[in-house]
Structure 1
């Protein structure tokens, strides 16, 4: 009977969980689709590039959707069972609330392991792959990379133009900033421009009625050097063959690499404090999933005659507050204000203690929180003595 009960409870929960994950992924992906559309515009294999980018974004958004989907699905499932009287029927046959919690807790443990797999291994690799695809799209076609009234970056060079005519490869008013490793800047402006491609595949911008200027890293005079000229030819950077190795920042490192601190032996500029804070953040978020079913059961359970409402809203509000606290703690830990573990683990521990305490009181037949005060009944006023007659 017990295994049938587990299957019955999980069957009602898993379907809702998957539906909520799908909805969350769709909502989170809408904002990024606008950027993807801009990146693939003009690409020869736009559909294939878009599919690759969306596929590499899924692990990132899946990790974000898991806590909310688990919390909401469990609250709704428990609320449905309570409203239909199934929870009362189970408890009348000797099934305790702790026994009802067991399948949901087991599901949370499985999702915690899945979260470690996603955040510890899939997300770093997919994040690197996404950046590589973006790099390839920017390097594939110089002409289609230009956007009207938008800054376009090519390595350490930035180009802005007011108008783009792809057919004639003509540009409107154009502004170019070319920075060097020493911190010096060179700027070039022109009223009109034309893109030309040479036989070796390099691109140049020919600016008419142009001005060239330079700005040193340390300004010693009141003005920089400027030169007005009728025409300027600026050679654009040659597309880079290949892409850099994975591990440019701590978010591209797997959990194994963060634990072994292999980034310290490589020639990388990764802050060890930020890397360790990121490792604790991934582990603590996975541990947080285990405490969510206890809170969900407390918020979704309805055993009284009058149905309570607001449990779902309270759960969502609690999850948002916890998420903001984790983000704030992570930022403090990455800056070295607090130890790497102290940014997120205290928040998770506080949520776990709150979840265990409220569930223990609920399973004992009491309210989730003790009453802060008790209203004493007013004493009845003394009645007047009966009148006697002589």
Structure 2
């Protein structure tokens, strides 16, 4: 019977856990997606790079999405048991709350290990990859230096303007090209200007050059300044372009966000300056807290899942999310204050964790008492507030209807 209960609980938790995890991650990603689209379009880069950037940001969002998913998965499962009176039946036959938490703790252990791998190793690496993509967009390494409808300086006296781009930049329409040659003293030599109906970039055997193939256009060649230019039409003309030198992106590890846990620990122990040791300590302890908090969530979820008797309020769901997000923000703030040296980096993380754990264990202790209702008082106050607001809204609606009736009668 006990094994059947465990399997039943496993199924009840798994579905809302996965659903909540996906929804939470997508909601966190959507906010950044709009800003990334705006950034990539302004830089003139390909839209496909947005998905690569979002993929590199996903581990950062999962560090918050996983705790929310685990907590709501457990909470919704036990709320369903409580609303259908199945929880009362299990307690009546001698199954305790502690025994029922065995399966939730199994989920907590698994996802604590997953979160440890994400915040300890995966998140720093993907953060570096994200910054690398931003650098390539700004430097033009992804083709971002050529913007449709604008004059682009490609270096070496070469200017290019494109009216329209199709096929991800493979088919260019309405091109204008101007190439100015200069001698060793910087004086202007020959000048070539061309317009073409179509064009495309082609690779060459020399990695320092690419080929701009122009089709159906007109070329104007001026050998020297002030000389009579020569004008000719062409069906196809190839123009070699020397690629500008791209600055190499920095190495990973400049900043604690890009350092994995062993690197942070090494900086804590052997850094030359106190500021470096303090910053590494603040980030190191926050990442540990993000993993350890997973073991507190089953107690909080169970306490918030059971509504007071004769109540169907979902106040516990709302309060649990508020509590977890508030704790997450407190740890972020503590990390910043620890890096600045205003508080001890370790205390800035573990004191809020101790308070959060103490509150969750106290709510669980209240639930375990006969007739215990951890959020009973809050539910009553919430009911009074919502009743007052509903009554006030009803009065305003009735008053508006009365005014409309008086105006229509007049």
TM-score range, shorter chain: 0.5 to 0.7
Partner of residue 239, structure 1: 246
Asked whether the equivalents of residues 136 and 142 of structure 2 are also in contact (C-alpha less than 8 Å), the reply is no
How far residue 139 of structure 1 moved from its aligned partner, in angstroms, is 2.8
Which residue pairs with 1:356 in the alignment?
361
Structure 2 residues without counterparts, runs of 5 or longer: 149-160, 165-173, 178-192, 194-205, 211-242, 378-410
Counterpart of 1:191 in structure 2 is none
Contact 1:249 1:270 in 2 (8 A): no
Q: Distance in 1 between matches of 2:291 and 2:101?
A: 19
Q: Return structure 1 stretches of 4+ with deviation > 3 angstroms.
A: 40-44, 140-148, 163-170, 199-202, 262-266, 305-309
Shift of 1:264: 4.9
Alignment partner, residue 258 of structure 2: 252
Measure, in 2, the Cα distance between the counterparts of 1:62 and 1:118: 8
Provide the rounded CA distance (Å) in 1 between the counterparts of 2:162 and 2:75.
53
Which 5+ residue runs of structure 1 have no aligned equivalent? 149-162, 171-193, 203-235, 372-390
The residue aligned with 1:39 is 40
Q: 1:263·1:270 contact (CA, 8 Å) conserved in 2? A: no
Flag the 1:358–1:142 CA change in 2: closer, same or farther, 3 A.
closer
Match of 2:7 in 1: 7
* Distance of aligned partners of 1:142 and 1:347 in 2 relative to their CA distance in 1, 3 Å threshold: closer
Query: Per residue, is there more helix in 1 or in 2?
Result: 2
TM-superposed CA distance for 1:54, in Å, is 2.6
Distance 1:342 1:269 in 2: 17
Structure 1 residue 347, shift from structure 2 partner: 0.5
Measure, in 2, the Cα distance between the counterparts of 1:309 and 1:142: 49
Alignment root-mean-square deviation, CA: 3.8
Superposed CA offset, 1:352-372 (max 9, x none): 11111221221122343899x
Aligned to 2:127: 127
CA distance in 1, matches of 2:244, 2:85: 70
Question: In structure 1, how many angstroms separate the alpha carbons of the residues matched to 2:358 and 2:110?
Answer: 21
* Count of residue pairs the alignment pairs up: 300
Displacement after TM superposition at 1:341 (Å)? 0.4
TM-score by length of 1: 0.67
TM-score, normalised to structure 2, is 0.64
Residue 11 of structure 1 deviates from its aligned partner by: 1.2
In 1, the alpha carbon distance for the partners of 2:57 and 2:176 equals: 33
Cα deviations by residue, 1:272-291 (Å, 9 ceiling, x for unpaired): 21111000001012111211
